[in-house]
Structure 1
């Protein structure tokens, strides 16, 4: 049975791989894509989502525009991490597909009301749209099948401030509203949280791209190296492989610039894989809250695992996984999908 999924994304290099992963999975049915401001502004996110659907020759999927700004603070974007368009060095033509006439928050609410208990919510960006949806429909936590989010850092340094992960840093008020709402609703299963402490172990290297291109039967043989001139472009015959290579190369160069190695953390496709198959993750229940007033710690995700606050757990935090199993699955699914969408010439 195909699992219905609402994606809420700020596409974003790794968000785009998460979208590709779900499109490649026969057991996933994307029923809506909410475009949230984060890595780039919301309208750019929406344009990226529509163009990616074109690239993948996907059937019609509703893409809704989210809020332009976070709930309480100005928007901060990160083109230095994801490129001026949010997809690294990749370039995609504008899509003729229309945007949804309804807002992202309204799409969330309408879809979960239409399919109670059937939809998995997957959020790989700031939670602005979901927080706004909760204000419209407080019962949303009980209408979802489950919520899976990528964000936060638990017993681990942040990647935006010393204590804050990017998605939370952009709109900490929204994250707090979401955790509070799901806790108050006693949602079961609890939201599943993929934080930096695990997603930074999901390290993509050039060899992963080479293997994916081989599965796609894309030519010439795909090789990406840290010795390549910065900004080199792929000549891959398969358009999906070419897109991935140009997008991820930018991400490799960004991580290398910050002394993390010629690699890329695949936060969002990991969360997408966990949304479809939670057995990929080892989890631990906790009560999660978000710091809003700390002078040095605003945006920190704080987890009470021992019941010190006297509050029931409101999340299951991912505390472990096997990255090799994830990459094997991703390479097989996305590579096979790329070959099916663009069959090699014989």
Structure 2
């Protein structure tokens, strides 16, 4: 094992992030969490089609950043569809707008006029060795950025990917995770671009076997509401009617609660219990260097041809293929620490916002 990383709350390292997401309930939590971290510079947020179309993703990003007090962060759109196959979205998982039952305010700000791929490439060129890429969406935009600038793996300080599943059941097909299934060709290009690079340059991959351990419950939502100073902590219980809107006194908590109620109901409908797997928050905490985790180097293959296996990711941890590693896959994380961090950080952000 390698790659143990931890950050103590009071002495955190400054991090500058380029974020690419397909917001998405768990993407929304990840973005809100990053806004709560004073040591994190959000250089830009790019919007990739996935959970919803790219335009809706961008609207969600603009609205969330404004809601979290960060209207200054540039938001851009790049690709409108996967590289080679039609786009599949997930209204049953995240709702028709991608944010469950939440009705986010209409954003006041405008999209950045520069294409997301151009924005990323220029940022990386102008600040070599400084920026970390956080990718919580299908890898379409990042693959296009690598085509435009093949030196991107060396120009970036680091890369964190939420995607794939290894020796673990998929959440979209029996073998494939959602992000890699939506655009398997992009994922294959991205991993190929890192082949043969030094270990410290390889992307850190947060796959389902560790992100599904970050299992949010109604108790966590109640703790978040209490931390935010809500007069009556919001309870998200399974016996309440589907679609019930939150009455939490804090606006951010109210919107997050309405998102998560939808997510809880989705997981219950598919036999996973009244819980929510918040995959992207864990990846965000890895990128922000606030999570403790371990990794193993591996050579990742993404299947793009076999119809029943499209988007399947396979990892060679033992070098049996005789090919150089192209990823560092997270092998250990700490859910109780992750939730303590989330409640403290998001509660503090919600409490600090105007009108709270």
Both proteins in one fold, TM over 0.5: yes
| Aligned twin of 1:332 | 344
Q: Is the 8 A contact 1:139 1:185 kept in 2?
A: no
Q: Specify which of 298, 309, 312 is matched with residue 286 of structure 1.
A: 298
Q: Is the 8 A contact 1:63 1:99 kept in 2?
A: yes
Q: Using CA pairs below 8 Å that are at least 6 residues apart, which structure has the higher relative contact order?
A: 2
Q: Which runs of 5+ in 2 are unaligned?
A: 1-12
Q: Specify which of 274, 282, 288 is matched with residue 276 of structure 1.
A: 288
Cα shift at 1:104: 1.1
Write out per-residue CA displacement over residues 189-208 of structure 1, whole angstroms, 9 at most, x where no aligned residue.
Answer: 31000000111111000000
1:176 lines up with 2:188 in the alignment: yes
| Aligned twin of 1:53 | 65
Write out per-residue CA displacement over residues 282-325 of structure 1, whole angstroms, 9 at most, x where no aligned residue.
Answer: 21110111011123212111100000111111111011111000
Cα shift at 1:182: 1.4
Q: Which secondary structure does the structure 2 equivalent of 1:289 belong to?
A: strand
Cα shift at 1:184: 4.7
Q: Is the 8 A contact 1:142 1:187 kept in 2?
A: no
Q: Which runs of 5+ in 1 are unaligned?
A: none
Q: Normalising by structure 1, report the TM-score.
A: 0.97
Q: Which secondary structure does the structure 1 equivalent of 2:284 belong to?
A: helix
| Aligned twin of 1:215 | 227
Q: Separation in 2 of the partners of 1:23 and 1:310?
A: 42
| Aligned twin of 1:93 | 105
Pairing 1:1-346 to 2, within 5 Å after superposition: 1-186=13-198, 188-277=200-289, 280-342=292-354, 344=356
Cα shift at 1:26: 1.3
Q: Is the 8 A contact 1:90 1:247 kept in 2?
A: yes
Cα shift at 1:158: 0.6
Q: Which runs of 4+ in 1 moved over 2 A?
A: 184-189
Q: Which secondary structure does the structure 2 equivalent of 1:38 belong to?
A: coil
Write out per-residue CA displacement over residues 11-60 of structure 1, whole angstroms, 9 at most, x where no aligned residue.
Answer: 00000000001000111110000100000000000000000111112141
Q: Separation in 2 of the partners of 1:251 and 1:338?
A: 21
Cα shift at 1:2: 2.5
Q: Separation in 1 of the partners of 2:223 and 2:313?
A: 36
Q: Is the 8 A contact 1:239 1:342 kept in 2?
A: no
Q: Separation in 2 of the partners of 1:278 and 1:221?
A: 26
Q: Which secondary structure does the structure 2 equivalent of 1:327 belong to?
A: helix
Q: Which secondary structure does the structure 1 equivalent of 2:347 belong to?
A: helix
Q: Is the 8 A contact 1:238 1:342 kept in 2?
A: no
CA RMSD of aligned residues (A): 1.2
Cα shift at 1:187: 6.3
Q: Which secondary structure does the structure 1 equivalent of 2:83 belong to?
A: coil
